[in-house]
Amino acid sequence: MMFWKNKKIQEILFDLFDMISFLVFVGGIVLFVRFFVANPYTVVGASMATTFEENDFIIVDKITPRFGELKRGDVIVFVPPGKTVPYIKRIIGLPGETVKIHDNKVTICSIQDNQESCFDLDQSYLDDNVWTDTRCGISNFKVTSWFFVMGDNRSFSTDSRCCFGLDCYNWASYEVPFDHIIGKVYLRLFPNFGTF
């Protein structure tokens, strides 16, 4: 009984309880943010160079894909069907469109008023020396439900053009399903500002 009546010990126990409560509260906030709001990633590989370089540290917004709208040109982090590792790529084709790749051009086509309407994609975000070519012998991709994606460093990108390296002829998908998207790249920390 004397142990609990000692004021110094009571103060230490209350301080310890306050500190543990604070750490649990902060830990809960960090876990909530990490699982539901934003997630940090490090870029691996050269598929998005020079927009994102190897070892760039990025923050991925997990809210926009759930409550907002993803659009052409957005850079997303996702896990391709049949894979387990996250990829980073740019959205090129949207549901209901056909992506056509020919002569270093990407053409987007859709049906409007029972007629095909097409336009060449503005790829001003690419370096001048980047060449957009076909992969796996396929040049036309009908995007039915989800998203068609490509890396900015087209010659070194494993992307929708060849079903993420899984061979499109064996029923692998070139589309990124919505539920495979982790989030939209929101921020790059410590970037080379000359390339962003």
Q: What is the distance between the alpha carbons of residues 59 and 41, in angstroms, rounded to a whole number?
A: 6
Q: Which residues contact 42 (CB under 8 A, 6 or more apart)?
A: 55, 56, 57, 58
Q: Which CA distances in Å does 117 have to 48, 97, 114?
A: 29, 10, 9
Q: Does residue 34 surpass a pLDDT of 70?
A: no
- Cβ of 172: how many Cβ atoms within 10 Å? 17
Q: Is residue 179 part of a domain?
A: yes
Interval 40-80: pLDDT, tens: 888 888 899 888 988 898 989 888 777 778 999 999 999 99
Q: Which residues contact 81 (CB under 8 A, 6 or more apart)?
A: 164, 166, 172, 173, 176, 177, 180
Q: Is residue 181 part of a domain?
A: yes
Per-residue confidence (pLDDT) for residue 190, from 0 to 100: 66
Mean pLDDT rounded to a whole number for the chain: 84
Q: Is residue 161 part of a domain?
A: yes
Per-residue confidence (pLDDT) for residue 196, from 0 to 100: 47
Give the residue numbers marked as catalytic. 47, 89
Token pair recorded at residue 127: 């370096």
Token pair recorded at residue 31: 């876990």
Q: What is the pTM assigned to this prediction?
A: 0.78
Together in a domain, 86 and 121: yes
Number of structural domains, the chain? 2
Domain that holds residue 22: 1-37
User: What order of strands is seen across the sheet that includes strand 105-112?
Assistant: 115-120, 105-112, 98-102, 140-142
